[in-house]
Amino acid sequence: MSAEETAAQGSEANGPYYSLRVAEIIEETADAKSIVLDVPAEFAERFAYESGQFLSFRVEVAGHRLVRCYSLASAPRLDSAHKVTIKRVVDGRASNWMNDEVSVGDVLEVMPPSGIFLLQDRDTPLVLFSGGSGITPCISILKTALETTSRPIKLLYANRDDRSIIFKDELNAMLSANSDRLEIVHRLDDVHGFCDAALIVQQVGPRKDADFYICGPGPFMDVVESGLGSLSIPSDRIHIERFESPDTPGAEDSAPIEEAEGQIVTISLDGQDTEIVVGEGETILAAARRVGLEPPFACEEAYCGCCMAKLVEGEVEMLMNDGGIDQRQIDEGWILTCQGVVKGKVRVEYPD
Ligand SMILES: Cc1cc2nc3c(=O)[nH]c(=O)nc-3n(C[C@H](O)[C@H](O)[C@H](O)COP(=O)(O)OP(=O)(O)OC[C@H]3O[C@@H](n4cnc5c(N)ncnc54)[C@H](O)[C@@H]3O)c2cc1C
């Protein structure tokens, strides 16, 4: 199928990726845009999602293929289309490409939704802590909780300044319509300074029995976790979504492995086969990065699915699967290479 035909159809599956057409682009702030996707009816079931989940996109930037996760800011059953919001990261490759290069009508490669940062079925209050682009899964959870529950909800939303607040109008509208049970606290670095643990404790106030959701930059999340920690909130009440970006691929953060002790694994990546030695207990992803290959990955904790590859020969045990791959994908032969330890000679193929 030609590129034009694929673009015209906008729905072909390529390995774990589906080609979805960009239906709309929304300028949210000076450094964040939303991309609304057109999910054709035949993929509606595959792209069904829960508030808090994310999509993984495979993009090509300056000749490099990158896979990046973006949380769904839309809410299932409330919003008619899937919407992700991408904030520029300084010198970030995919985020700037998504902001600068994507236009309405383009076709993007997207993996079906995944993730476990989900609204729990409880009656307790909800307290959401968001920083910057960390609002994306939280606004989806917020919308769904307002629509489907009567839970009291508090959102603390930290930003650099007023102009950086994503979804400001939408949040204001939600507040006006639900002022009896929704509270929104905006914290702006240029006015209030950074949040600290004491502030978090103060903002929780009497809602110690709440479900807590945290998403934002690392230092913001650390402060929130520290504040909640001082209140001895049980860990099953604290839900965390990390937006970590992969480091530049390379060997520097992988433990050295004695090559002679490992198994031979053939890795097919970008149309090229490479034979590598995977050490005892080492994952395929770690070994591939150790030898200088640049396979896609993000979370390395079995929940994002970015590092998926197809096992075409041999046996691999996945150490864990935290929702990064579903049964259908496993049945098709896909594995999470960040969790895959090999049992003998193996061949894996990353999607073309
Ligand atoms: C589950 C999940 C959900 C997410 N949801 C969202 C969302 O809804 N919205 C959103 O905006 N983001 C989200 N993210 C983050 C997103 O996936 C990307 O990590 C983010 O957009 C940055 O990617 P990038 O390619 O632009 O940056 P990268 O190119 O990976 O760069 C990241 C950082 O590394 C630095 N860097 C890059 N190359 C080098 C180099 N050679 N040497 C030194 N430093 C370098 C850059 O300066 C930058 O600060 C999510 C992440 C996860 C895991």
In this structure, the answer to whether residues 25 and 97 fall within a common structural domain is yes
Range with lowest mean pLDDT among 12-16, 65-69, 166-170, 247-251: 247-251
For residue 15, what pLDDT is reported?
Answer: 78
End residue of a domain, out of 81, 114, 147 = 114
pLDDT, tens only, 88-135: 999 999 999 999 999 999 999 999 998 889 999 999 999 999 999 999
Which domain range does residue 323 map to? 259-349
In this structure, the answer to whether residues 16 and 102 fall within a common structural domain is yes
Identify whether 251 is part of a domain: no
For residue 260, what pLDDT is reported?
Answer: 54
Mean pLDDT over 235-256 rounds to: 65
Identify whether 160 is part of a domain: yes
| Ligand 1 centroid to residue 311 C-alpha, Å | 28
Mean pLDDT over 72-91 rounds to: 97
Ligand 1 within 6 A of CB of 245: yes
**Which residue's C-alpha comes closest to atom 13 of ligand 1?**
70
Mean pLDDT over 234-258 rounds to: 65
Q: What is the CATH number of the domain that holds 309?
A: 3.10.20.30
In this structure, the answer to whether residues 105 and 173 fall within a common structural domain is no
In this structure, the answer to whether residues 131 and 188 fall within a common structural domain is yes
In this structure, the answer to whether residues 235 and 274 fall within a common structural domain is no
Residue of 95, 110, 213, 253 best suited for mutating to test ligand 1, as the one with most atoms within 8 Å of CB? 95
End residue of a domain, out of 216, 242, 268 = 242
Ligand 1 within 6 A of CB of 314: no
Question: b/e map of 87-113 (b: 16 or more CB within 10 Å)?
Answer: bbbeebbbbbbbbeebeeeebbbbbbb
Q: What are phi and psi of 148, to 5 degrees?
A: -110, -5
In this structure, the answer to whether residues 307 and 271 fall within a common structural domain is yes
**Which residue's C-alpha comes closest to atom 44 of ligand 1?**
248
Q: For residue 57, give the nearest of 9, 17, 96, 10 by alpha carbon.
A: 17
**Which residue's C-alpha comes closest to atom 28 of ligand 1?**
92
Identify whether 247 is part of a domain: no
In this structure, the answer to whether residues 277 and 326 fall within a common structural domain is yes
| Ligand 1 centroid to residue 38 C-alpha, Å | 24
Give DSSP secondary structure letters for 282-338: --HHHHHHHTT-----S-SSSSS-TTEEEEEEEEEEES--SSSS-HHHHHTTEEETT
Mean pLDDT over 45-61 rounds to: 95
pLDDT band at 8 (very low <50, low <70, confident <90, very high): very low
Q: What is the CATH number of the domain that holds 146?
A: 3.40.50.80
pLDDT band at 202 (very low <50, low <70, confident <90, very high): very high
Mean pLDDT over 330-342 rounds to: 95
Domain count, the chain: 3
End residue of a domain, out of 194, 211, 242 = 242
pLDDT band at 12 (very low <50, low <70, confident <90, very high): low
**What is the rounded CA–CA span in Å between residue 173 and residue 145?**
15
Query: Is the pLDDT reported for residue 208 higher than 50?
Result: yes
Query: Is the pLDDT reported for residue 1 higher than 50?
Result: no
Tokens of 180: 């009896």
**What is the rounded CA–CA span in Å between residue 281 and residue 269?**
22
Going from the C-alpha of 268 to that of each of 44, 206, 346, the distances in angstroms are 31, 55, 11
Ligand 1 closest atom vs CA 245? 19
Ligand 1 within 6 A of CB of 62: no
Mean pLDDT of the chain: 91
In this structure, the answer to whether residues 185 and 283 fall within a common structural domain is no
In this structure, the answer to whether residues 110 and 20 fall within a common structural domain is yes
What is the number of residues in the chain? 352
Identify whether 266 is part of a domain: yes
**Which residue's C-alpha comes closest to atom 43 of ligand 1?**
248
Q: Report the amino acid identity of residue 27.
A: E
Give DSSP secondary structure letters for 126-154: EEEEEEGGGHHHHHHHHHHHHHH----EE
Identify whether 211 is part of a domain: yes
Ligand 1 within 6 A of CB of 34: no
User: Phi/psi class of residue 308: alpha, beta or left (left: φ > 0; alpha: ψ in -120 to 50)?
Assistant: beta
Identify whether 254 is part of a domain: no
Identify whether 45 is part of a domain: yes
Identify whether 83 is part of a domain: yes
For residue 261, what pLDDT is reported?
Answer: 75
Ligand 1 within 6 A of CB of 133: yes
Ligand 1 closest atom vs CA 132? 11
In this structure, the answer to whether residues 318 and 268 fall within a common structural domain is yes
Beta bridge partners of 214: 129, 240
